[in-house]
Amino acid sequence: MTDESKTPMSDGLPEPVIRHRRVNASLIWLVPIVAALVGLSLVIHAWMQQGPTIAITFQTAEGLDPGKTVVKYKNVVIGKVSTIRLNSDRRKVVVNVDLDKTAAGIAVADSRFWVVRPRIGLGGVSGIDTLLSGSFIGVDVGNSKQKQTDFAGLETPPSVTHDAEGKSFILHSGDLGSLDIGSPVYFRRLQVGRVASYKLNDDGKGVTLQVFVERPYDKFVTTDSRFWNASGVDVSLGADGLKLNTQSLATVLAGGVAFLDAPGPHPTAEVAPQDAVFTLFDTQAHAMAPPDGEPHYIRMRFDQPLRGLAVDAPVEFLGMNIGSVVSIRMDYDEKTGHFPIYVGAVVYPDRLGRAHQKLMAQARSQGDDDDMSHLIGTLVAHGLRAQAKVGNLLTGQLFISLDFLKNAPKATYDPSVRPLEIPTAPGNFDKLQEQLAEIVDKIRKIPFDSIGNNLNQTLVSLNKTLNQVNNQVLPQFQDTLKGANQTLGTANNAFSPDSPLQQNLGSTLQELQRMARSLRTLTDYLGTHPSSLIRGRSADAPPAADTGSSTTKPQQGSKP
């Protein structure tokens, strides 16, 4: 469509043509609008994602890195550490965490935070993955509805998390033993839970533990369950002998708690409710014993050495263990110049069961007070005495035995003395000597003289018999032995290496060997030429050409 010639101008320049343009130039403004929309969407997105910011206090910021350390719940990243600073008194660090919008519900009052680091404990190794990837903050989401933004971080991971199903129980104990947070709880030697926390009682007279038992094992904790400390190796050397008891090898190292229903039927036992309170006994034996009831302190005066009596030695009443020795003190009696030994013991009359109840009822009906002093008075009048007896002959351990003695010498008993003093009688430890004397007496009565005479006569006749044997029987026996010797010599010759029998045997075997060889050749041949059975043996084939050349070649080469 050039029209250079059609529109000739004065200066001879061509004139432009008209062509309609398609694009409206103002559309270019769409570009910044789109950019602005994208920017806006990013801002909105970020704002929507923005959850609450929480502050967690830790002892140290070890392993934490602002902008990098993440907060994980069930291994899902739900937030990131934004800044770390010291708190106002510079004792702790405050870690600010930006939580995701989706994780906003985590910031509630009873949520707990801790730093997941590699930890090696007796229970095992945890957080090993953080060795390479760096630490992160773990969280246990609470159930509370109350919002909170400031948290005190835990220094160790909680042993029980909120999402764990089960029940926790409170245990009271005299001391912690070797238990720790996370120590296992065993039921029939099966681990069913953990120690969640412990604290010293406010009065300092004991420890309160919280244990957590997982579902479905929590239903085995009943109102009649007994808990005991299964820590370490339970070695007890007492009057009962040596006892060694452990729950598992792990408890030997890390300690643990075990529980079981008390033996016997439990018609009233129910599943224990959440936070039910139990006593944590020292040993399984203590735990399984019937409830002890009120302890009573008694004292006994012994006028004999008590070597082998130790604190914790049992106190038995007619063979029932009703308490233990708590103190052994020496005293000096100015009047007699003796050194009596006062043994203090704690007894639990409730261990006597119905006997105690009946005795108490009887005593009360007679107008006695609650303190069983008159009751004991009655028993003493009937011959109740305390004795130190040998419980274990090997170790010489003593225990205190309260028994009714026949012909007991009259004893003074003052029911008003506190603690109650129970009269004693010399124990069988002393009687041992008497018994020994009796044994010696009996031995003395044995008629050793006549026994010796009889023995002498017997020996004389035995001597005679032996002489006879020597003179008559032995020569004959010698002849027999000689004959036997000759026979053996002949047999020996027959089997000597150069004997004809031996040589014949050798050649026969060689013959047999040859025969076997030719038989093998025959079978080999038949194997390769079965037809020769019918047609007879064919002429030998000439050796193959290639084998011939391969064998000759090296010979040629080696000649020069």
Partner 1 sequence: MNAMPRAHELGLIGCHVCGLVCRDTQVPDAACPRCGASLHRRKPDSCARTWALLIAAFILYIPANVLPIMRTVSLGSVDDNTILSGVMELWVKGSPDLAVIVFTASIVVPMMKFLVMGTLLLSVHRGSHWARAQRARLYRLVEFIGYWSMLDVFVVSLLTALVQFGFFSAVEPLPGVVYFGLTVVLTMLASMNFDPRLIWDGKDEDD
- Alpha helices per DSSP H over 114-175: 130-133
Q: Say how far apart CA 297 and CA 419 lie, in whole Å.
A: 6
Shortest distance (Å) from residue 38 CB to partner 1: 7
Shortest reach from residue 14's CB to partner 1, in Å: 5
Minimum Å distance from CB 65 to partner 1? 9
Q: Are strands 70-73 and 225-229 parallel, antiparallel or unpaired?
A: unpaired
Residue 115 Cβ vs partner 1, minimum distance, rounded to whole Å? 15
Decide whether 116 or 372 has the Cβ nearer to partner 1. Answer: 116
Burial label for 95, CB within 10 Å (0-12, 13-18, 19+), is buried
Nearer to partner 1, 69 or 373 (CB): 69
As measured in angstroms, the least distance from the Cβ of 80 to partner 1 is 10
3-class secondary structure, 351: helix
Count the alpha carbons within 13 Å of 412 in the hemisphere toward its beta carbon: 4
Q: Which positions lie near partner 1, rule CB under 8 A?
A: 1-4, 9, 11, 13-21, 25-26, 28-29, 31-32, 34-36, 38-39, 42, 67-68, 129, 132-134
Per-residue CA distances from 523 to 492, 514, 516, 532, 539 (Å): 42, 14, 10, 12, 18
Q: Give, in order, the Cα–Cα distances in Å from 398 to each of 176, 326, 485.
A: 30, 14, 70
Nearest CB to partner 1, comparing residues 33 and 534? 33
**Residue that has been written with the tokens 């059975």 in this structure:** 533
In whole angstroms, the minimum distance from the beta carbon of 101 to partner 1 comes to 18
**What is the rounded distance in angstroms from the CA atom of residue 209 to the CA atom of residue 229?**
11
CB closer to partner 1, 34 vs 519: 34
What does the alpha-carbon distance between residue 386 and residue 318 come to, in Å, rounded to a whole number? 11
CA-angle at 209, arms to 207 and 214, nearest 5°:
165
For residue 270, CA distances in Å to 225, 228, 266 come to 10, 20, 9
Residue 18 vs 460, nearer CB to partner 1: 18
φ/ψ of 415, rounded to 5, equals: -70, -10
* Nearer to partner 1 among residue 31 and residue 330 (C-beta): 31
We find the least distance from the C-beta atom of residue 58 to partner 1, in angstroms, to be 20
Whole-number CA gyration radius for the chain = 51
Task: Show Cβ contacts of residue 325 under 8 Å, excluding neighbours closer than 6 positions.
Answer: 309, 310, 311, 312, 313, 314, 315, 343, 344, 345, 400
CA atoms within 13 A on the CB side of 293: 14
Query: Shortest gap between Cβ of 67 and partner 1 (angstroms)?
Result: 8
Specify the residue, 41 or 327, whose C-beta has the smaller distance to partner 1. 41
Nearer residue to partner 1 within complex by CB, 100 or 292: 100
In the three-class reduction of DSSP (H, G, I as helix; E, B as strand; rest coil), residue 245 is classed as strand
**Three-state secondary-structure class, residue 309:** coil
| Distance of closest approach, residue 57 Cβ to partner 1, in angstroms | 25
> Looking at beta carbons only, is 67 or 543 nearer to partner 1?
67
How far is 422 from 412, CA to CA, in rounded Å? 9
Q: Which is nearer to partner 1, 32 or 290 (CB)?
A: 32
CA distance 412 to 377: 9
Residue 5 Cβ vs partner 1, minimum distance, rounded to whole Å: 11
Query: Strand 296-302 and strand 241-245: pairing?
Result: unpaired
Residue (96 or 161) nearer to partner 1, CB? 96
Cα(336)–Cα(33) distance, integer angstroms: 116
- Rounded Cα distance between 129 and 122, Å, is 18
The nearest distance, CB 130 to partner 1, in angstroms, is 9
Partners of 114 in the beta sheet?
138, 154
CB of 5 or CB of 476, closer to partner 1: 5
Q: How far is the CB of 12 from partner 1 (least distance, A)?
A: 9
**Would you tell me how many other CB atoms lie within 10 Å of the CB of residue 554?**
9
